[in-house]
Amino acid sequence: MAAYIAHYLVMVGIYSILALSLNLLIGYSGIFSLAHAALYGIGAYASAVAALKLGLGFWGGMLVAASVGALASSLVAIPSLRVAGDYYIVASFGLQMVILTVFVNWTDVTNGHAGLAGIPRPHAFGYAIDNPFKYVVLTLVIGALTYAICHRLTHSAFGRRLRAVRDDEIAALAIGKDVVRAKILIVTISSALGALAGSLYAHYITYINPSSFTLEESIFITSLVILGGTQRLAGPCVGAAILLAVPEALKFLSIPDTIAAPMRQILYGGLLIAFMFLRPEGILGSPHRKKPSAAIQ
């Protein structure tokens, strides 16, 4: 039971990093991305390949993962964020599909559907992180670091500029902010952090294949952010803790697997819709719906 809880905590930590980094885009920049699972995957594959084929350690692999994630997203962000509007949703959707296809088909490196096995558990400061309990600590440290980075970014002139761009791009341009640069920068940072989560995942599960990094996964990460609330840093972490508990709770109901999987999807969908109506700002957001009269005034 203790190992089971440790596993849950590790996964909450990994998904918190994913949701925190995605919220830099959705909540603080108003950029909607559907490629976060792909970047998570890039991080996982990059550090797995770094460990298995290049013999790089955990920390080196993380650095590679973050760099490759940042690079991949900036290739798409640089051309597409120059165009105003919601163009990036489509571009990121494309990025998600292309990267997943690469995972499946670049068999020399990724081993296709069969995936990569035998990814070593990390060593930190000469200390083997070889069981879920130790991994909880490692995840917590990296999660806290991510939180600190996001906090610094959002609670500063940098974050103020992002919110200005989010709320009124024209006004931000007029006051002298380089809007395109700000957007490309935050997409790159968000992707690097997302890839970090992938690295953490690969070294924890020790086996990865493309099915963990699909479009559905991207949507799942998005729902963590929306459910938890986009206006507070802690929101996405709360979202992760709750949505990851849902399938675990279903396990106790002794439902056959064939029913449990679709059940889970129905529950996620139902929760998202319920939140849109009842608490559009998420769990940590303001509990009150905006009254129509306030909008009319």
Q: Is 177 in the site for other proteins (CB under 8 A)?
A: yes
Candidates 12-20, 102-110, 162-170, 199-207 — which segment interacts with other proteins by CB under 8 A? Answer: 162-170
Cβ distance to other proteins smaller for residue 14 or 189: 189
For other proteins, the closer CB: 2 or 170: 170
Shortest distance in whole angstroms from residue 71 CB to other proteins: 16
Mark the segment that binds other proteins (CB under 8 A) among 8-16, 23-31, 160-168, 238-246. Answer: 160-168
Q: Using CB under 8 A, which of the segments 102-110, 150-158, 204-212, 232-240 binds other proteins?
A: 150-158
Is 178 near other proteins (CB under 8 A)?
yes
Residue 119, judged by CB atoms within 10 A of its CB (0-12, 13-18, 19+), counts as buried
The residue within the footprint of other proteins, chosen from 164, 215, 263, 283 (CB under 8 A), is 164
The strand pairing partners of 164, in sequence order, are: none
Interface with other proteins in residues 83-142 (CB under 8 A): none
Q: Near other proteins by CB under 8 A, which window of 159-167, 194-202, 212-220, 274-282?
A: 159-167
Strand partners, 116: 208
**CA 136 remoteness from chain centre:** 18
Q: At 48, list the tokens.
A: 């797995």
Integer-rounded Cα Rg, in Å, for the chain is: 19
Angle between helices 257-278 and 235-251 (to 10 degrees): 150
Closest by CA position to 15, among listed 220, 285, 226:
220
Give the footprint of other proteins on residues 39-68 (CB under 8 A): none
Q: Which of 11, 14, 189, 196 binds other proteins (CB under 8 A)?
A: 189
Report DSSP letters for 136-158, one per residue: HHHHHHHHHHHHHHHHHHHSSHH
Residue 174 interacting with other proteins (CB under 8 A): yes
- Distance between CA atoms of residues 98 and 91, nearest Å: 11
Please report whether residue 168 would count as binding other proteins according to CB under 8 A. Answer: yes
Contact 14, 139 (CB under 8 A): yes
Please select the residue that binds other proteins; options are 171, 245, 246, 259, rule is CB under 8 A.
171
Which strand (E) or helix (H) includes residue 177?
none
H-type alpha helices, the chain? 2-26, 36-52, 58-80, 87-105, 107-110, 132-154, 157-167, 169-174, 179-205, 215-228, 235-251, 257-278, 292-296
Of 111 and 190, nearer to other proteins (C-beta) is: 190
For residue 21, the minimal CB distance to other proteins (Å) is 14
> Minimum distance between the CB of residue 216 and other proteins, rounded to whole angstroms?
32
- Beta carbon nearer to other proteins, 110 or 230: 230
Q: Which stretch binds other proteins (CB under 8 A): 34-42, 151-159, 241-249, 271-279?
A: 151-159
Which of 154, 233, 237, 238 lies closest to 189 in space, CA to CA?
154
Residues in touch with other proteins (CB under 8 A): 149, 152-153, 156-158, 160-161, 163-164, 167-168, 170-179, 185, 189
